[in-house]
Structure 1
């Protein structure tokens, strides 16, 4: 049947075909999981503020000699002329001036600003190295225990229980006391730093090991693991190529939360006198020296604030990173 002009059919609008190029379209850009997590993290202003502080502290630790050259004096240089010989306190109460931004120490007159800056090198170096050691050991043993199960899981899990129940602080004090000034080809600060990294890192791996083991128990039942097995993949290949890449997020999150714990532990050991030995500057050692002069507020305030700000920055950034990588777990 032919429809003539003037009928309803002539009044129906015709939609242009996009294939003819009349309507240009915009291609949808795909985003990786890392980019999505970075977008979420950038929206968290508190976490980003913590990240900026962390970057600033790392730069301060790296460029400590340059900073001290322009803004202070060498950390172990005495300034007896700034000390009141009758009270052993800095002249003027604190000794804060344009040359000494945080004042000087009682009794010997060392520049507190320089020692706080150099103390950042010790605290961050030990914390990062110890965290790296515990992450490597805990991740490997945790994924092995979760993947193989059976007697392997039972053996590693019991080892975790033993390490978690170990009196680490007492052991650290005893071990630091019996190690001589020269051992394993190391001397001085290098030996003390290596000893602290070993004590903190080697005995902290069960914390992250238990988390990795629990995640592995869930991942090993997933389809991609079954697919790898069906293609003939063996255990080591599945662990390092399939499971560990999917465990990067929880490992990274826990590592950022473990670093401040290690900073506090290093400061506690230095405070007790079993950390880095004087005259090398460390935040915990400065607090230990300040305990004898508790009435002089600035001596304890600045190293204490350095520890507080550093730990707070890592905790805020770690919480934000956890929310960015695991939005379903957000409180």
Structure 2
């Protein structure tokens, strides 16, 4: 296309009004980093599907029981009420076909006692997600704080924190958790029963998992502290506290958020492992790992009892992993 000429034969310069008319009269607006990340995330169908499942599971866990809701009472029996009249005393299996699956019991009944599996899955979601979220919060807070201190100050502070990371990473966490939780008394620290066991499990997972995120934060901080905006803030007289919390931490939100979504499914699996080994929450409180433990003895007569909680764990872990992968790609400044 040639440049338009005026009557004198010289090139004409396009006026701003003409440019706006050519674009429909709309001014071109820039996009923030958050808008760019949101656009990328919406294009990732797998991440969106994972996010939908995660939100659904969180809402189910919140509104499963009173005082926030009552989905269990609305769609099924109480998770702890037995239905012995629906169990064959000879085989311990549900008398109804397909494991007792019906409109009243959509996931069937447990063998031996006949408790509603659907209600116990909803109740178990509360335990699994509560432990996973709280443990992740503890590890993120500790790991982010120690990681940024090690990366920003360096020197002996970095040496001490790094060696502390190595000690915690070498610690046999599963064996330690089994020993501590298994030896818990019925009452301690003003708590008792499952409340005490959940608190101890959250503390163990969170306190011993912080080195993983601390290493990521330390590496990012080592790079950020050499950036121009940090030098500019330091030249203007900003204190270390101001630089850490106002300049460095905002640039660490993306990696911390991404790693948190990938750490939550790990904590869900760890809690399920403890419950499967018999050192999680006690009966009659439902948990997905505890349901799998009981299903091992009855999988031949009631295979659905093992399939349902196994699928619940699989879908939850897969959803968080898909969401984490999508967030990592969306928040990557080098991605297109």
Would you call these one fold, judging by a TM-score over 0.5?
yes
Q: Which residues of 2 match residues 175-324 of structure 1 at below 5 A?
A: 175-295=180-300, 296-324=302-330
Q: Which residues of 2 match residues 1-331 of structure 1 at below 5 A?
A: 9=7, 17-18=15-16, 23=21, 25-65=25-65, 66-91=70-95, 92-295=97-300, 296-326=302-332, 328=334
User: Paired residues, what number?
Assistant: 323
Q: Deviations over 1:120-155 (max 9, x none)?
A: 011001100000110000000000000010110000
Q: CA shift at 1:12, angstroms?
A: 6.7
Q: CA shift at 1:97, angstroms?
A: 1.1
Larger displacement relative to structure 2 (87-96 or 250-259):
87-96
TM-score by length of 2: 0.92
> How far apart, CA to CA, are the structure 2 residues paired with 1:169 and 1:12?
81
Q: CA shift at 1:187, angstroms?
A: 1.4
TM-score by length of 1: 0.93
> How far apart, CA to CA, are the structure 1 residues paired with 2:165 and 2:25?
57
> How far apart, CA to CA, are the structure 2 residues paired with 1:175 and 1:234?
42
Q: CA shift at 1:327, angstroms?
A: 5.1
Q: CA shift at 1:237, angstroms?
A: 1.5
- Number of the residue aligned with 1:5: none
Q: CA shift at 1:18, angstroms?
A: 3.6
* Contact 2:20 2:26 (8 Å CA) reproduced: no
Unaligned 5+ runs, structure 2: 1-5
Alpha-carbon RMSD across the aligned residues, in angstroms, is 2.0
> How far apart, CA to CA, are the structure 2 residues paired with 1:99 and 1:327?
50
Q: CA shift at 1:180, angstroms?
A: 1.0
Q: CA shift at 1:222, angstroms?
A: 0.6
Change (3 A) 1:30 1:327: closer
Q: CA shift at 1:26, angstroms?
A: 2.5
* Contact 1:16 1:22 (8 Å CA) reproduced: no
Change (3 A) 1:16 1:326: closer
* Contact 1:134 1:204 (8 Å CA) reproduced: yes
Unaligned 5+ runs, structure 1: 1-7
> How far apart, CA to CA, are the structure 2 residues paired with 1:290 and 1:177?
21
Q: Deviations over 1:145-191 (max 9, x none)?
A: 00010110000000000000000011001111222111111112221
Secondary structure of the corresponding residue to residue 292 of structure 1: coil
Q: Deviations over 1:198-222 (max 9, x none)?
A: 0111110000000000011111111
Q: CA shift at 1:19, angstroms?
A: 6.1
Q: Which has the larger radius of gyration?
A: 1
Larger displacement relative to structure 2 (131-140 or 178-187):
178-187
> How far apart, CA to CA, are the structure 1 residues paired with 2:327 and 2:51?
10
Change (3 A) 1:94 1:227: same
